[in-house]
Amino acid sequence: MSLDGTYDSANIFAKILRGEAPCAKVWEDDHVLAFMDVFPQSRGHTLVIPKGSTARNLLEETPERLAALMVRVQKVAQAVRAALNPDGVVITQFNGAPAGQTVFHLHVHIIPRWADQPLGRHGGGQMADMAELQDLAARISARIE
C-alpha cells in the first residue's frame, strides 16, 4: 500500500484497539495504546499507537493527535530505558509499503539496543513467546511515570 489509499478498519492494530485481537499491553490512556511487538527486533520492542485515529501513517495524522502521540512515545521510551537498561533506543516509524510499513494504522516503534547485540530484521523473524512478552510488558509498565 502506497501513501495513497484509505484506512482499513480491519487492520490488526484496529482489531487490538477494539479488543478483537490480543496484545501484551504495556500502558494506555485516552490517547494511545502501547504494547509489545510480536516480531521484536530486540528484547523490549514496543509499539505505540493512537486511539480514535484513522491515520494510516504520520502524514495523515492531525497535528493535535500527533503531538499527543509523540509525548507519550517519549514517556514509554523512558519506561523502556528504566526497565531494561539498554545502551541506546531506536525510535522509528514507516510510511507506506515501499518505506517498509506493513500495518496501516499509524504507529511508532521503540526498539531498545544493546551494544553487543545485532538488530533483528524489520517485519520478519520469529514470533516471540507470549509469556515472555507479557513479562516484559509488566516490567516496562511498572516504570511508566
CB of 51: closest distance to ligand AMP in angstroms?
16
CB of 112: closest distance to ligand AMP in angstroms?
14
Q: Which residues contact ligand AMP (rule: CB under 6 A)?
A: 12, 21, 23, 37-39, 47, 94, 100-103, 123
- CA–CA separation, 109 and 41 (whole Å): 10
Q: What is the CA radius of gyration of the chain?
A: 14
- Length of the chain (residues): 145
Residue number, 10 or 145, with CB nearest to ligand AMP: 10
Grid cell at residue 22: 490480543
Residue number, 126 or 145, with CB nearest to ligand AMP: 126
- 29-35: long-range contacts, CB 8 A cutoff, minimum separation 24: 29/72, 31/65, 31/68, 31/69, 31/72, 32/68, 32/69, 32/72, 34/72, 34/76, 35/137
CB of 1: closest distance to ligand AMP in angstroms?
10
Residue number, 7 or 39, with CB nearest to ligand AMP: 39
Q: Which residues are catalytic?
A: 107
Residue whose grid cell is 521503540: 110
